[in-house]
Chains A and B, each alone.
Chain A
């Protein structure tokens, strides 16, 4: 019996760390989609989260003088995670839409981007629904793009949904998709990678539809957390006034056309 007991104790000790690490004071939990979304949120080789949104989060928390904790959540379940209080803030490039506002609340916009369609390199830049008839378009699940594509291209084209933006891009490179629709910023970054340069090109920005595509990206919040909302809004204003947004963007040369809150 001796050796089983020793094993059991070693295992229990190792495993205790798992719970201990989770038993700390109460910082604000920022929920970031676990699926990589470069250049806004992705994990680098050492396991730390990096990207424009992560830099902004750090600046924001410093401005609010709050202790923040980054929590990885599945993008597909990020709203339920917020409402069930596993996280306090959705900080994951979520567009502010009326549909989502029925369930959750948003802070002010902290960045905005056009929406674009990319496809294989062939010089054919037409993205009218008639032209895309019979083609396959990839989008990330639970995004505004999924709804947009359903509405405008759903009748004639096949829509495939992916759990991560990376996987949609990957399938475009592999030739299993004809087009991908997503935020222009994220797609630009992909087109500047080695793989993106080899396979694909930007076709065009899609015609705007703010009811579906929303009015920029904001922090998702529970409806009852109005104090936190005001705090975040004030911090966004202060950061804009201090020119912090431009400072952060300067580190991401691929984000040429990002729209950030203006100082006023």
Chain B
């Protein structure tokens, strides 16, 4: 264990690496979150309005993702996902694509996020008072317009707490891609700790960085929720 001056020195040497790792974590998380939301929106609409086959597939997707540990899913998808994709492409006569570690990490996390987003958004859409949607229909709004002008704004207040939770989850889950070797904050920390033998110091610092990300995000989502709740009845 280094002395106090030693700790500061180590941090000033390796701090840059950790910050690059932290940026990488945020980058992966943002992309995965965005793709996950798109998947989730499709999933929620499919579950609510889709035919029996679509509903069956979506139920299978959400059930499996929610009962298999993220770590297992990430390892499977990380190795098998790109392999399968390349085989499918080869089958249709395309060249193999090279999927960078970054993209693989993003898509794997997005796949997991998508299942949870599906449930959050489905719940939020169902929470909209049915009268509002019926009124929109009575005014002759087309489905797309109805979705854009009525369902989306009306569901957001119900969805935001769940979506905030999902964002916190994806920032934490992104640490799991360290296990498959993509360099983000957790792996950068592991490398720094291994290189300097100051395991305690660097893991505490990494935990501090993750905590900062979480707290800043919570603050941001709090403001967002207040924005979208304006005009709604105050709860209690």
Contact = CB atoms under 8 A, between A and B. Distances in A.
Direct A–B contact in complex, judged by CB atoms less than 8 Å apart:
yes
Nearest to A14: B27
Interface in A74-124: 74-78, 80-81, 83-86
Given A33-B181, A47-B17, A80-B79, A86 B197 contact: no
B180 A86 contact: no
Contacts of A81: 79, 181
B199 interface: yes
Contact of A18 (B27, B181, B195): B27
Contacts of A22: 100, 102-103
Interface stretch (A60-68, A143-151, A162-170, A250-258): A162-170
A36 interface: yes
Contact of B101 (A11, A17, A71, A76): A71
Contacts of B16: 45-47
Given A33-B181, A86-B99, A42 B195 contact: yes
A46 B188 CA distance: 11
A15 B101 contact: no
A84 B227 CA distance: 46
B195 to A, nearest CB: 6
Given A45-B195, A73-B181, A84-B82, A15 B31 contact: yes
B236 interface: no
Contacts of B47: none
Majority-rule SS of A interface residues: mixed
B122 to A, nearest CB: 23
Given A47-B17, A86-B82, A72 B197 contact: no
B87 to A, nearest CB: 10
Contact of B195 (A43, A78, A167): A43
Given A42-B195, A84-B79, A74 B179 contact: yes
Given A19-B103, A170-B199, A84 B86 contact: yes
B148 to A, nearest CB: 14
Given A47-B17, A164-B190, A36 B101 contact: no
Interface in B83-119: 83, 86, 96, 98-104
B17 A86 contact: no
Nearest to A11: B30
A204 interface: no
A77 B183 contact: no
Given A4-B224, A43-B191, A170-B197, A72 B13 contact: no
A38 B197 CA distance: 13
B181 A34 contact: yes
A58 to B, nearest CB: 20
Contacts of A15: 27, 30-31
A195 B196 CA distance: 10
Nearest to A163: B179
A35 interface: yes
Interface string A210-245: 000000000000000000000000000000000000
B189 to A, nearest CB: 12
B83 A83 contact: yes
A79 B16 CA distance: 31
B130 to A, nearest CB: 27
A209 interface: no
B63 to A, nearest CB: 26
B229 to A, nearest CB: 14
A224 B201 CA distance: 46
Interface of B: 13-14, 16-17, 20, 24, 27-28, 30-31, 75, 78-79, 82-83, 86, 96, 98-104, 179-183, 187, 190-192, 194-195, 197, 199, 224, 227
Closest 7 interchain pairs by CB?
A74-B181, A166-B194, A45-B13, A84-B83, A80-B79, A34-B181, A22-B100
